[in-house]
Amino acid sequence: MKINVVYNKHIENYEDILSKIEKLLISKKIDFKSFELSKLANFGDFTIVIGGDGTLLRTARYYSEWQIPVLGINSGRLGFLSQSDDEEINFIIESIINNNFYTENRLMLTSIDRIALNDFVIKGCISSRTSKFYLEINNKEVCDYIADGLIVSTPTGSTAYGLSAGGPVVYPTMDAIVIVPICPHTLNARPLVVPSTEVISIKTADKLLSVSIDGYDTEKCVDKITIKSSDKKAVLAFLNSRNYYSILRDKLHWGISEAK
Domain boundaries along the sequence of the chain: 2-100+240-252, 110-230
Residues 6+ apart with CB under 8 A from 139: 199, 201
Question: Mind listing the pLDDT tens digit for each residue in 1-23?
Answer: 999 999 999 888 889 999 999 99
| Dist CA 161 CA 178 (whole Å) | 11
The pLDDT of 160-184, averaged and rounded, is: 95
Please provide the CATH number assigned to the domain covering 2-100+240-252: 3.40.50.10330
Which residues are marked as active site?
53
| Dist CA 89 CA 69 (whole Å) | 17
When mean pLDDT is compared across 112-121, 128-137, 176-185, the lowest value belongs to 128-137
The pLDDT of 140-161, averaged and rounded, is: 95
Helix or strand holding residue 134 (H, E): strand 131-137
Note whether 60 and 236 are within 8 A (CB): yes
When mean pLDDT is compared across 57-71, 77-91, 97-111, 227-241, the lowest value belongs to 77-91
Question: How would residue 60 be classed by pLDDT, with cut points 50, 70 and 90?
Answer: very high
| Dist CA 209 CA 223 (whole Å) | 6
What pLDDT, on a 0 to 100 scale, did the predictor assign at position 115? Answer: 96
| Dist CA 64 CA 109 (whole Å) | 12
The pLDDT of 240-258, averaged and rounded, is: 72
More confident residue, 181 or 187: 181
What pLDDT, on a 0 to 100 scale, did the predictor assign at position 243? Answer: 78
Instruction: State the DSSP code for 158.
Output: G
Cα distance from N-terminal residue to C-terminal residue, the chain: 50
What pLDDT, on a 0 to 100 scale, did the predictor assign at position 106? Answer: 98
Please provide the CATH number assigned to the domain covering 110-230: 2.60.200.30
